[in-house]
Amino acid sequence: MMTPQHLGAFYIGAGIALCIIVPVGIILAFKLTQKSAEWYYNQAIDLYANGQTEKAVQFLKKAIAMEPDFANAHYNLGLLYLQQEDFNQAQECFENVLSLRPDDLESKYNLALLAYDAGRYDEAEALILAVLEQAPDDGDCYYTLGLIFEAKQEAEQAKEAYQKAAELAPKNINAYLFLGKLQDQSMQLDEAIETFKHVLELDPNNLEANYDLSITLAKKGDWDGTIHYSQRAVDIDPSYAKAYNQLGLAYYCKEELEPAIENYQKAIEIDPTYGNAYNNLGYAYQKAARYADAIRMFEIYMEKSSEDPQEVAEIREHIELLRKKLLE
């Protein structure tokens, strides 16, 4: 795992969190009477520990002004700029570190994350691969590499990277989650089920894993399993509209129309903009011979969600057929 040194800070981007923590107590302060670069550097660490981030930035700048080759000061200043979301300044700081310490893994890793967040995926990939040449067993790097490959729409390479990340860091839930999603998308359904169930072994209350597993089981036509894991998702988060919609789908496919309708209605109650739930509820009403209600749902769906002219035409034609049924 990447463990950048000195000041503690958090860099959060694109769903990843780089936690950089070093107890301040292990840093030996220089008891210098003269205000040297080291004095300003140590004062900056103390200031940061006491929540005075902006003043810590100013003291690190003074340390660098006095000693331009002070790599640790550049690095910690970069961390503070990350915390302040001043990404251009952070990038400059980490590049300064690499000009002084070309093999600095933490700076390369942070630069890779910055490049990833900025959409410079080739640059991010090159930096991560450079880190992996020096630290081939770093699971965090493989996880980040998976994110980069996925952003580049290179699904097979992303799956390989997530798999490697999971092997090196078996408790990395995100690596398994993203791996499972890609397995599901490529219709490797049995593999996806196994992956999501592994996440639930680590964290039974993981909302995303319960919901994603219900999606995969639905693709296999396992409606009882879909209901079980969708229900687990709404038990964990009663405001999760998508899980209610998924419950509605499973009951609908089991020909159990009343619970299907109830769950679709609940999804809409939670999220009145949820177009897919209106469409699904329309079909449930139609199957229950509640044609007026079905027409109303299809009209709302058409208004809220349908932007495809061909789909709009098909919905209107469908509504006309339902109106004829009302007259029969």
Tens of pLDDT, residues 236-267: 999 999 999 999 999 999 999 999 999 999 99
Percent of the chain residues topping a pLDDT of 90? 84
Query: What does the pLDDT read at residue 34?
Result: 61
Q: Are the C-beta atoms of 22 and 6 separated by less than 8 Å?
A: yes
Model confidence at 156: pLDDT above 60: yes
Which one-letter amino acid corresponds to residue 284? A
Query: What does the pLDDT read at residue 326?
Result: 86
Mean pLDDT of 285-311: 90
Residues 222-235: b if buried by 16+ CB within 10 A, e if exposed: bbebbbbbbbbbbe
Give the confidence band of 304 by pLDDT, cuts at 50, 70, 90: confident
Rounded Cα distance, 240 and 246, in Å = 10
Mean pLDDT of 168-181: 94
Query: What does the pLDDT read at residue 162?
Result: 97
Q: What is the DSSP code string of 236-266?
A: H-TT-HHHHHHHHHHHHHTT-HHHHHHHHHH
Model confidence at 169: pLDDT above 70: yes
Rounded Cα distance, 25 and 22, in Å = 9
Model confidence at 139: pLDDT above 90: yes
Which one-letter amino acid corresponds to residue 70? F
Mean pLDDT of 122-127: 97
Rounded Cα distance, 28 and 234, in Å = 50
Percent of the chain residues topping a pLDDT of 70? 89
Q: Where are the alpha helices (DSSP H) in the chain?
A: 37-49, 53-66, 71-83, 87-100, 105-117, 121-134, 139-151, 155-168, 173-185, 189-202, 207-219, 223-236, 241-253, 257-270, 275-287, 291-304, 309-327
Task: Report the range of poorest mean pLDDT among 110-119, 230-239, 307-316.
Answer: 307-316
Model confidence at 89: pLDDT above 60: yes
Can you give the pTM of this predicted structure? 0.80
Of residues 230 and 311, more confidence is placed in 230
List of residues 6+ apart from 132 with CB closer than 8 A = 138, 141, 142, 145
Of residues 234 and 24, more confidence is placed in 234
User: Which residue in the block uniquely carries the two structure tokens 């690095």?
Assistant: 75
* Average pLDDT value over all residues in the chain: 90
Mean pLDDT of 52-66: 96
